[in-house]
Amino acid sequence: MTNTPFTPGIVPARLGAQDLAENFSDLHPPLDGHEALVAADRCYFCHDAPCITACPTAIDIPLFIRQIATGTTASAAQTIFEQNILGGMCARVCPTETLCEEACVRETAEGKPVLIGQLQRFATDSLMAADGHPFERAAPSGKRVAVVGAGPAGLACAHRLALHGHDVEVFDARPKAGGLNEYGIASYKSTNGFAAAEVSWLLKIGGITLSTDKALGRDITLEGLRGEFDAVFLGIGLTGVNALRAEGEARDGVADAVEFIADLRQADDLGALPVGRNVVVIGGGMTAIDAAVQSKLLGAENVTLVYRRDRDAMPASRYEQDLATSRGVRFIFNAMPLEVLGNGAATALRCEYTKAEGRSLSGTGETFDLPADQILKAIGQTLEGAPEAVRLEGGKIAVTGAGRTSADNVWAGGDCASGGEDLTVTAVAEGRDAAEDIHATLIGGA
């Protein structure tokens, strides 16, 4: 955990234990059996289902819903896991409102889609609660693959490689596996230690060794891995945080939103977490939304999210924006930070209104001050520690096809790789597809 400075405005225990427990309870409680059958009955089971096309992992959604409707929930989960081995987490955190559910014919016709995400959770949770694992490894191939990064891309890659009979060692710089699923997801979306439980369940396939506290460039090197293993997959994510580039950024009370969320995710006692009375979050993506909502849930009196463009340009979906508003978060659009005010510790954030002309953005000269004892930066992350052996493109690892990098026998996927969206489900798809390409290469080479 980071050492967040305790300033006069940033203190722990703004709320009691009962209020915190209620605030951080499951955002969408799981469906029971009857509710799942009712929800499944709304599916038209389309032949050319647009929801499948909208899913980055191409799950056969009408098939798994039909399997739920006919009482074969285990088969429904198998259908999901064949395409997305992290289907349980994706059911919780995927922006289904802009993916499968937005494409649902029911949404187009009635404005109310089939509850695809909740039905996916119903199926996957049911199977994960059973003993054993739904997949069986192929005969040992004699090949060894290193996976660097135990996030969604790395875990999906490792599982698919193990399924094909390869021996996999997964390295991660942090003490726990899971990547953003463990450290970066809002606590009310993934409760009761689900991320860790999902990793443990995934490892039941066998053939995967997990090595934590092993950072690329510090404890291991790409050159060393290439010499020891038959192939390497890089799923190292984005660990750097963009600078605010505003005067006074170094004042106490200014912190990275990703660290704030990670601290919250790993906290044994939410009441011990310090939070400001007046919190300002800068940014417009999911990290900004998650930080803002959770600040409010921790007991901040006023939480304001400042975004430099208008609402329609905001990366976070309208559903997430509305969720934040319903929790008391205030939005200010078309504004950018200029200066953190205060004497040692932050007391306010000075902002300037903006105007956009196409993609260009400029200040209007009109400024305003927001009271702020805690300022959280959620203005994007950058790639740090990429090996010199791989070519970069747009600040990320350049890949072609199914994750092939410029280095022989080295693949990459997830947030660290060029192309695609920075979504858990996209990372899973990229890890899975890279594994298939690695497998084909290793077997072809054999």
Q: For the domain covering 33-128, report its CATH number.
A: 1.10.1060.10
126-147: per-residue pLDDT in tens?
999 997 899 999 999 999 999 9
178-236 pLDDT per residue, tens: 999 999 999 999 999 999 999 999 999 999 999 999 999 999 999 999 999 999 999 99
What percent of the chain lies above the pLDDT cut of 90? 93
Supply the pLDDT for residue 358: 86
CATH architecture of the domain with residue range 17-24+243-381: 3-Layer(bba) Sandwich (3.50)
Q: Give the mean pLDDT of 435-439.
A: 98
Portions of the chain given CATH number 1.10.1060.10: 33-128
CATH of domain 144-239+383-445: 3.50.50.60
> Full-prediction pTM beyond 0.85?
yes
Q: Tell me: the pLDDT tens digits for 360-372?
A: 999 999 999 999 9
What is the pLDDT at residue 3? 47
Contact 304, 279 (CB under 8 A): yes
Per residue in 259-271, pLDDT (tens digit) is 999 999 999 999 9
Q: Where does the chain hold its CATH 3.50.50.60 domain(s)?
A: 17-24+243-381, 144-239+383-445
444, pLDDT greater than 90: no
